Amino acid sequence: MTAGMPSDLVVDLPVRLDRTDSRPLPTQLCDAVRALLASDVLHPGDRLPSTRVLAAQLGIARGGAVQAYEQLQAEGYLVGERGSGTRINPALARLHSTVRPPAAVPPPSADDVLHLRPGAPDVDTLTTPAWRTAWREAATRVADARTDPLGSPELRREIAEHVRQMRGVVAEPDRVVVTAGAREGFALLLRALAVGATIVEKQPPRGSSGRTLTIGVESPGYPSLRRVPVALGHRIADLHADEHGLDPASTTPDLDLVLVTPSHQFPHGGTLAAGRRVELASRSREQGWLIVEDDHDSEIRHVGAPVPALTALEPERTVMLGTFSSVISPGIACGYLILPGELVAAVRDLRGVLGQPVGAVVQGALARYLASGELRRRTQRQRRVYRRRREIVLQMLGDVPGAQLRPLDGGLHAVLVTKRPEAELVARCRGRGVGVVPLGAYWGGESSENGIVFGFGAHDDASLMRALAVIAEVADTQS
Amino acid sequence: MTAGMPSDLVVDLPVRLDRTDSRPLPTQLCDAVRALLASDVLHPGDRLPSTRVLAAQLGIARGGAVQAYEQLQAEGYLVGERGSGTRINPALARLHSTVRPPAAVPPPSADDVLHLRPGAPDVDTLTTPAWRTAWREAATRVADARTDPLGSPELRREIAEHVRQMRGVVAEPDRVVVTAGAREGFALLLRALAVGATIVEKQPPRGSSGRTLTIGVESPGYPSLRRVPVALGHRIADLHADEHGLDPASTTPDLDLVLVTPSHQFPHGGTLAAGRRVELASRSREQGWLIVEDDHDSEIRHVGAPVPALTALEPERTVMLGTFSSVISPGIACGYLILPGELVAAVRDLRGVLGQPVGAVVQGALARYLASGELRRRTQRQRRVYRRRREIVLQMLGDVPGAQLRPLDGGLHAVLVTKRPEAELVARCRGRGVGVVPLGAYWGGESSENGIVFGFGAHDDASLMRALAVIAEVADTQS
């Protein structure tokens, strides 16, 4: 990509001359250029500054620079033609053994496996004219203005409208924080809470390093978000979860927050029951902890009405962790927090110090894309596509002997509990060109059920059917 | 922007019916819609799902949904026309007192002040065809593939080439980490070091919450980066800095890392002297701390040869904190770390848990833009522009009675030490339409020199001259 450097670019020569050195200045310059070549800073073909520019930079007479270049040309290190400047001799490439080829990074493992990644959305139809227009317009308006640390007013307004329309959550734009995704938003929230921005203060922060928080998590549960507090030095407390979601009876007063997936428990597949919602909210008040609602694929619901958000039920005690991963692509690296009003000031202060990680172009493009209505239109279309693919999964894996599908009410992954050992299933699928994940990989410390997890959203129907046929065959205990 | 919702989009109704409730299901549905209106979840003009879709979602007979819609239509809440579906009555807008206008966020303070923001680059000429092409191509290739947590191979290769050509630093792409800017990169590094990824281990990590690090910082110094460890609960140790940069004699063995700005000390304006570079590297080895090189505007050098990077001098003990803020725009929110090989694995693990905050489109666009050679071409052009503006500053403020300019060897800001009180200067400049920053705002706890800081990169020559004329006039003790 950069093998041949454009001829109008010169390399900066990081050379310093030492007037107390006994060597004459031109000699020092020659030595420096040879050393830069030997240490691979200069490459054959690189263009050097003119003697005029170099002499001015180094504060020496131009004659000294000319003398050094002539010496190096005589030695074959440099070549120079009238009008095209002086370059490192390209012929040195053949001699110079330490030159590495520029493409040192290996290509992504080029296998023929169709990876059924859990949660991966279909992005084949993403790049519509509205999408391209949004990016084109945003790319031409990179202001140097430092944006609001919580995100641009336009994008925060559009996100507020998005959660109102998609999730029935009424949030003023000033309670919306643009994040680089659910995990980044969670990490930001944890830091803000650790230094004292807590609605129900449990204990005073111990010095400036902040409090270690205790976070209740569903057990079993999806591992991605629960790893974040662990990596940041906080404690995890396992709370019981079953096919009706998190069991509120398992929460305790020593918790600081409870991370819950009300619309889609993993791996049980169920939705948080209505009674448990109410109980969770009331225990939050009684026991003094904050609810963190992981809302990551709630927009993709196959069965029944949309599940009301806890954030709508208890807005002053709930933080919504939202993301555009499922409805756009994980590659967008953008999401949002909806904060209780009391937490806004502390998060704003922290964000002001740490910086807003989502750039102005991304924010501008996303605001335009949301404003066009295209994301909602696309999500409505995609729901039909995903529902069809879910039907395919149910038809092809619904009655395989020795295998049981978990409920598939929403989301883009399926859990197949199997009698055959999961390691064997994963290996046999892989051998037949299909990538699936063992259920045990998600379970953390606990003893796991046996089975596999796979995504059904990303690939076209025909590819999906071929892959599912393989899964059905290897899971079947009667085959 | 979203005031009028496109007519093909329906609102999801977050309604749950309760079969144990004594009210009939259609009554429950009516009550729910009225409640959603009262609570501002539904807005006048919103389009509702068809009775067929809604009945299927709620698991009720279609007749029940029809009955509820008819009741709400009779009450004036809904209007429905054949073919265009059912909507919340737009006429309710006049009655519905709690409806907030969508543009609730105030516009950025609309004053006529020309803000001379320290460090702000000129972005007027950024959006060239190469820039737009890079974004256009990147926007059409959003893979859902989760990228390498350290950043895409293409971008990391281009960054390695960038630091080789611009800074004389030879770094294999696998030591390059894409960050959302210098502060985000610093925060990532601190967390990785706190949990034990240290080259010279000082003490074992205390439990999983990690060690509190001690970071030596230049005093005085630029405050932006030093606030990051404070916000993350680490300790700051002030190290002496003067017109020759950080004084290595002030470092101590209890430090974990030393943050240094070798190319551009703030506010003294000088460059780290050659002897001090060598001494800093040797004390790093003797005392067992890591050097963190803040390289934020080293590409913009007005006088003399490029300053060699400490990372080139001592690559296995130095982390380079790079950013594209100065050469592109702070709005790009992208930078990089160049890591010693020993730290790569720990940073990769941590990044894998916390997620890569820079999205696939940004990474793709930047890789293309760098590969085109356009950034280096632009930087070479901009250096000429900035040098000219620096000359203007020197000419207009170089001999104002009662004011003294600090050296302007590099960067995009100037420090003017003044006899007149800085608060008075800032207020008088502001009154004449020019925004500058008091020097005291940067100094932290210490007793400060008196003066002002201003940027000279962002505005065209004529605007700059007008602003400088104001500064010269208000600073002049003889006027």
Q: In whole angstroms, what is the distance from residue B456 CA to residue B412 CA?
A: 6
Give the mean pLDDT of A415-444: 89
Phi then psi dihedrals of residue A319, to 5 deg: -105, 125
Q: In whole angstroms, what is the distance from residue B417 CA to residue B403 CA?
A: 6
**How is residue B240 written in tokens?**
């002496």
CA distance A396 to chain B (A): 24
The residue among A39, A128, A144, A325 with the most chain B CBs within 10 A of its CB, best to mutate, is A144
* Chain A residues 367-406 with a CB less than 8 Å from chain B: 367, 370-371, 373, 376-377, 380
Indicate the residue of A108, A139, A304 with minimum beta-carbon distance to B127. Answer: A139
Helix runs in B81-152, H state only? 92-95, 129-139
Q: What is the enclosing helix (H) or strand (E) of B397? A: helix B374-397
User: Could you write out the DSSP letters of every residue in B227-274?
Assistant: HHHHHTT-EEEEEEEETTEE-GGG--TT-SEEEE-TT--TTT-----H
Look at B274 and A16 and tell me if their CB atoms are within 8 Å.
Answer: yes
Position B371: which residue type?
A
Query: Which of the listed ranges A62-76, A195-209, A365-379 does the model predict with the highest average pLDDT?
Result: A365-379
* Chain B residues 4-23 with a CB less than 8 Å from chain A: 5-6, 8-16, 18
Q: pLDDT (tens digit, 0 to 9) for every residue of chain B, 479 residues total?
A: 344 445 567 777 778 788 888 888 888 888 888 888 877 788 888 888 888 888 888 888 889 998 898 888 877 788 887 667 888 888 776 544 443 433 333 333 435 678 888 888 888 888 899 999 999 999 988 764 457 899 999 999 999 999 998 888 999 999 999 999 999 999 999 999 998 654 443 443 444 467 899 999 998 888 889 999 999 989 999 999 988 899 999 999 999 999 999 988 888 888 888 889 999 999 999 999 999 999 888 888 887 777 788 988 888 999 999 999 989 998 899 999 999 999 999 999 999 999 999 999 999 999 999 999 999 889 888 988 999 999 999 999 999 999 999 988 888 999 999 999 999 999 999 999 999 988 887 765 555 789 999 999 988 999 999 999 999 999 999 87
The single residue listed with the structure tokens 């972005």 is: B123
Q: In whole angstroms, what is the distance from residue B210 CA to residue B230 CA?
A: 15
Strand spans (E) along B57-174: 78-81, 85-88, 114-115
Look at A5 and B165 and tell me if their CB atoms are within 8 Å.
Answer: yes
Q: In whole angstroms, what is the distance from residue B49 CA to residue B15 CA?
A: 12
Residues 6+ apart with CB under 8 A from B201: none
What does the buried/exposed string (b/e) look like for A152-168 if buried means 16 or more CB atoms within 10 Å of the residue's CB? bbbbbbbbbbbbbbbbb
Residue of A89, A94, A64, A87 whose CA lies nearest to A76: A89
The single residue listed with the structure tokens 């300790």 is: B235
Domain B25-95 has CATH 1.10.10.10: yes
User: Could you write out the DSSP letters of every residue in A333-373?
Assistant: --EEEE--GGGHHHHHHHHHHH---S-HHHHHHHHHHHHTT
Predicted local confidence at residue B107, as pLDDT: 35
Residue of B150, B210, B204 whose CA lies nearest to B179: B150
* Chain B residues 413-452 with a CB less than 8 Å from chain A: none
Predicted local confidence at residue B83, as pLDDT: 67
CATH architecture of residue range(s) B129-372: 3-Layer(aba) Sandwich (3.40)
The residue among B157, B338, B351, B361 with the most chain A CBs within 10 A of its CB, best to mutate, is B361
pLDDT tens, position by position, A218-229:
988 888 899 999
Report in angstroms the alpha-carbon separations of B185 from A366, B198, B201, B238. 24, 16, 21, 21
Q: In whole angstroms, what is the distance from residue A314 CA to residue A326 CA?
A: 25
Q: In whole angstroms, what is the distance from residue A88 CA to residue A78 CA?
A: 5
The residue among B2, B236, B278 with the most chain A CBs within 10 A of its CB, best to mutate, is B2
For residue A382, list chain B residues with Cβ-Cβ distance below 8 A.
none
Residues 6+ apart with CB under 8 A from A112: A433
Q: Provide the pLDDT confidence category of residue A289 given band limits of 50, 70 and 90.
A: very high
User: Could you write out the DSSP letters of every residue in B439-454?
Assistant: GGGGSTTSPPPPEEEE
The residue among B12, B33, B296, B332 with the most chain A CBs within 10 A of its CB, best to mutate, is B12
Q: Provide the pLDDT confidence category of residue A443 given band limits of 50, 70 and 90.
A: low
**How is residue A411 written in tokens?**
């989301």
CA distance A352 to chain B (A): 10
Q: Provide the pLDDT confidence category of residue A397 given band limits of 50, 70 and 90.
A: very high
Residues 6+ apart with CB under 8 A from A244: A270, A271, A272, A273, A276
**How is residue A384 written in tokens?**
């039909």
Judged by average pLDDT, the poorest of A137-146, A269-278, B213-222, B257-266 is A137-146
CA distance B78 to chain A (A): 17
Q: Is A252 on the interface with B (CB under 8 A)?
A: no
**How is residue A56 written in tokens?**
């001015």
Residue of B366, B385, B318, B300 whose CA lies nearest to B124: B385
Look at B41 and A153 and tell me if their CB atoms are within 8 Å.
Answer: no
Indicate the residue of B144, B167, B367 with minimum beta-carbon distance to A331. Answer: B144
Share of chain A above pLDDT 70, in %: 89
Look at B331 and A142 and tell me if their CB atoms are within 8 Å.
Answer: yes
- Quick check: A301 and A271 in contact, CB under 8 A? no
> Residue ranges of the domains in chain A?
25-95, 114-121+377-475, 129-372
Indicate the residue of A103, A173, A376 with minimum beta-carbon distance to B104. Answer: A173
Helix runs in A245-343, H state only? 274-287, 310-313
Give the mean pLDDT of A304-329: 88
User: Could you write out the DSSP letters of every residue in A139-176?
Assistant: HT----SPPPTT--HHHHHHHHHHHHHHH-----GGGE
For residue B118, list chain A residues with Cβ-Cβ distance below 8 A.
none
Position A383: which residue type?
R
Q: In whole angstroms, what is the distance from residue B438 CA to residue A133 CA?
A: 42
Q: Are strands B245-246 and B318-323 parallel, antiparallel or unpaired?
A: unpaired
Look at A105 and B59 and tell me if their CB atoms are within 8 Å.
Answer: no
Indicate the residue of A136, A357, A371 with minimum beta-carbon distance to B2. Answer: A371
Which ipTM did the prediction report?
A: 0.82
Q: What is the pTM of this model?
A: 0.82
CA distance B13 to chain A (A): 7
Give the mean pLDDT of A133-142: 90
Q: In whole angstroms, what is the distance from residue B373 CA to residue B130 CA?
A: 9
Give the mean pLDDT of A307-332: 90
CA distance A477 to chain B (A): 33
For residue B10, list chain A residues with Cβ-Cβ distance below 8 A.
380
Q: Is A225 on the interface with B (CB under 8 A)?
A: no
Look at A209 and B11 and tell me if their CB atoms are within 8 Å.
Answer: no
**How is residue A284 written in tokens?**
């939050």
Answer positive or negative: Cα dihedral of B177, B182, B188, B190: positive
- Three-state secondary structure call for residue B13: coil
Residues 6+ apart with CB under 8 A from A241: A218, A219, A220, A221, A247, A265, A268
Average pLDDT, chain A: 85
Predicted local confidence at residue B146, as pLDDT: 57
pLDDT tens, position by position, A188-226:
999 999 986 544 434 434 444 678 999 999 988 888 899
- Quick check: A213 and A187 in contact, CB under 8 A? no
Q: Are strands A413-418 and A403-405 parallel, antiparallel or unpaired?
A: antiparallel
| Cα angle, residue A437 at apex, residues A391 and A448 outer, rounded to 5° | 100
Predicted local confidence at residue A101, as pLDDT: 37
Predicted local confidence at residue A102, as pLDDT: 38
In chain B, the largest separation of any two C-alpha atoms, in whole Å, equals: 89
Q: Provide the pLDDT confidence category of residue A107 given band limits of 50, 70 and 90.
A: very low
Residue in chain B nearest A370 by alpha carbon: B2
Three-class DSSP labels, B121-136: CCCCCCCCHHHHHHHH
Share of chain A above pLDDT 90, in %: 48
CA distance A285 to chain B (A): 22
Q: In whole angstroms, what is the distance from residue B30 CA to residue B36 CA?
A: 10
Residue in chain A nearest B40 by alpha carbon: A170
The domain B114-121+377-475 is classified under which CATH number: 3.40.190.10, 1.10.760.10, 3.40.50.1390, 3.90.1150.10? 3.90.1150.10
* Chain A residues 268-287 with a CB less than 8 Å from chain B: 274
**How is residue A86 written in tokens?**
């002086």
